[in-house]
Structure 1
């Protein structure tokens, strides 16, 4: 069976953008249609797949751009961070400089150590059972006063995931002393901390999350 034309065009676009830096614009559908001697719909199908796979991203009214390669094979948006949470309680929130919030916060959010961050600590539950404790870090300047006054809405991370991407790290460790009681597990219990950065399509970090998961209520399997 012959390879569909749009797939051939897709491969040619991949070759063209291979050495382009992130956020570089690509030609318009009209220009590509002329160059590849194909219909705009065929070119659009090729671009749509590259956007879906994370090689490209669209910016409304501006065009289509090369995505950061670290987001290729991105975690599907359907794998929502809150999919197994029925309720949560905010235990603490505060505003601090990034370097005061934690040594890695400025690096993860790609801000200066002096920039202010909003820190929220919450306990996530399912049917009253503790699932995880999350430390959530926002860039304070990106949060409006109305959002600050409505933490529950702000903590709906699905809103960030809708048009964004995530990068995750899985770190085996012993449960931190301060979280053992909240998770109702014994001291020195092995757990997995999941570190998540939610970014915009262009790769700008929006939220950084450290989730300490209850191994008896939330099983995490890591496969190659």
Structure 2
């Protein structure tokens, strides 16, 4: 219980700090908006073939705006020398990881709530798929990406070139999640007849999420104390 309580304190601290500065979340939303605008100019929204790129665009937005938030997650603690204080406090290191994860995941959800409807609106996308399945894919895909990303951000924060190192570490590890999420999103948005295929991709993502979340949870103590 104290683990979750401490994690909520960390998440609350990060979200309150972001609410005051409005730096990371604003940057993520602006980036997502610019990405959608660039794609809308690159592809003709009135062309039906263009609709095929929408699942890919959704996950491009999630991945790259997510990296912007993840990069700042632990760097802010390093710059303010607060990480050492957190580590010597009577708080389990897993609480720090869980709190950072909750803060990053909350910001990612906010970006998705703003970006995805804007994308559908700009591309005049007539939604005919299964909304619960679509939301579920977004949730588990983002969950896996952010949980692994938060862990790797803590690892990369000790490097001088952390902003370059994080994507290099993150993309290979999260590739199965992203491939599965794009494929499942494409089927759910465009071809519900192949829903069993989408469910198979969802099961793959869920299994990957569980395995890596547990691994991150177990290994974070060693990473933070390096």
* Rg larger for: 1
TM-score by length of 2: 0.26
More strand by share: 1
Structure of greater relative contact order (alpha carbons < 8 Å, 6+ residues apart) = 2
